[in-house]
Amino acid sequence: MTTLAEGRELTQVGPGTVMGELMRHYWLPATMSSELVRDRAPVRLMLLGEKLIAFRDSAGRVGVMDHRCPHRCASLFLGRNEEGGIRCIYHGWKFDVAGNCVDMPSVPPQQDFKHKVKARAFPAVERAGIVWVYMGSAAKAPPLPAFEILDAPEDEVSVTFIQRECNYLQAIEGEIDTSHFGFLHAGHVDQDDVPADGPIYHTVTNRAPEYHIADTPWGTQYAAYRAAGAESTYWRFASFAFPFWTLAPNGEFASHVHARAWVPLDDGHTMFCFLRWTRGVSAHTQPQPAFKDGTPVGGTGRGNRLLPNTTDWLGRFRLAANEGNDWQIDRAAQQSNAIYSGIDGIHLQDQAITESMGPVTDHAFEHLAPSDQMITRTRRRLLMAARALRDQRILPPGVADAEVFRGARSGYFVSEDRSPWQDVYARQLAAALHPSPPLRAAE
């Protein structure tokens, strides 16, 4: 059981917290590159409980910094993005993307001390249509995580951002819990009503899979398995990767190249950042599951309508279906068994469940089951890594060697291979389709 004290360690991410310090050792997907326009208004960002702004200067460079002007703490969100920097409208002090004060017009020239003033700025890079931010204190930032999706040419990468009103850990645990699929998403489906070669047949045939669980160089991994005939096994491999990434089994293992970040905005809000290879076969490239007569399975819709973005700290990429309207649950569809949950859309179903637990769930109230082994293993892995960093200054996984993330792949397949499960995984990974890395200048 996770104690109340352990729950706090796991879920609090602000400055000085155990988990917050671990998070600050990694690059964070912060915003979409398209949100920042040269010499246009800055964007408010909340990351790890800190209020930041992001802007793109006249040369196209991205700046990410504390929103407070280091002069009198007025918000630089109100600033003028002009001629290579952000200018505070209070006294006109101007800062470049590195935080250097480049103009101090309210101070007489003989008393100018701009060379001694620096805004608190963070390193930022762009990759796959995303602005990544490093909020750590190391003199040299680590490399970006070497997920396969970052090998793909940018025109072959789809990027989605969706905010979730709950703690990052709740969101992750919804992703690494595979046994819920046969209920939350497909509890109304009978195996005799769907094709045997369809994507959900094995999941609804046996709603209680067995598991293999292991620590990995990148985090934790599970292999859920079910019999698929006399000689075959239906496998669903998935992973958690430090510090907040998941690789879900919602695609064919051979080409399902993706990564899903659950970036903590603060203790009770998370930004889902989904990077997907458009050449891979997954739920997002295939028609929604259908019954034998071709009728789409209820509840598996793909739409996620967003509210217009606002300039609030937490005003970006919010779903229109939310707690305020009961996630648009259709009780008639639920009662008639047209949709098991009454909520249309697999992502929205997951969102409703994790948000319904509250911003930060009370782990002491839980009664975890054998099907929750991946959750308990991942909590322990995170907690031990955060404590080792705090107490022994041992770097968490993937910081010193970002290449470990390249070994993570997820997806489903049917196999007659009777080898140990990790050997089955290694063979499938070796035979899989991999993106070809584009040529890039040295970083």
- Separation between Cα atoms, residue 266 and residue 264, nearest integer Å: 5
Give the per-residue pLDDT at 156: 96
pLDDT of res. 319: 98
Nearest to 8 by CA among 150, 160, 169, 123: 169
| CATH class of the domain comprising 27-134 | mainly beta
pTM above 0.85, yes or no: yes
Residue among 123, 174, 147 at smallest CA distance from 350 = 174
Segment 264-310, tens digit of pLDDT: 999 999 999 999 999 999 998 998 999 999 999 999 988 889 999 99
CA atoms 185, 187, 192, 193: torsion sign: negative
**pLDDT at 230 (0 to 100):** 86
Instruction: Give the integer Cα–Cα distance in Å for 92 and 89.
Output: 5
What residue segments make up the domains of the chain, in order of their start? 27-134, 148-431
Token output for 314: 């937490």
**Cis omega (within 30 of 0) on the bond before 243?**
yes
Averaged pLDDT, groups of 10, the chain, 443 residues long: 93 98 98 98 98 98 98 98 97 98 96 96 98 96 97 96 98 94 95 92 93 98 94 97 97 97 98 97 91 94 92 98 97 97 96 97 92 96 98 98 97 96 97 82 49
Which sign, positive or negative, has the C-alpha torsion 196, 174, 362, 2?
positive
Q: Which is nearest to 407 in space by CA: 257, 266, 284?
A: 257
Q: Which residues is 95 bridged to in the sheet?
A: 86, 101
**Which pLDDT value is given to residue 229?**
87
Instruction: Say what the pLDDT of residue 91 is.
Output: 97
* Residue 315 CB contacts under 8 Å (≥ 6 apart), including other chains: 44, 309
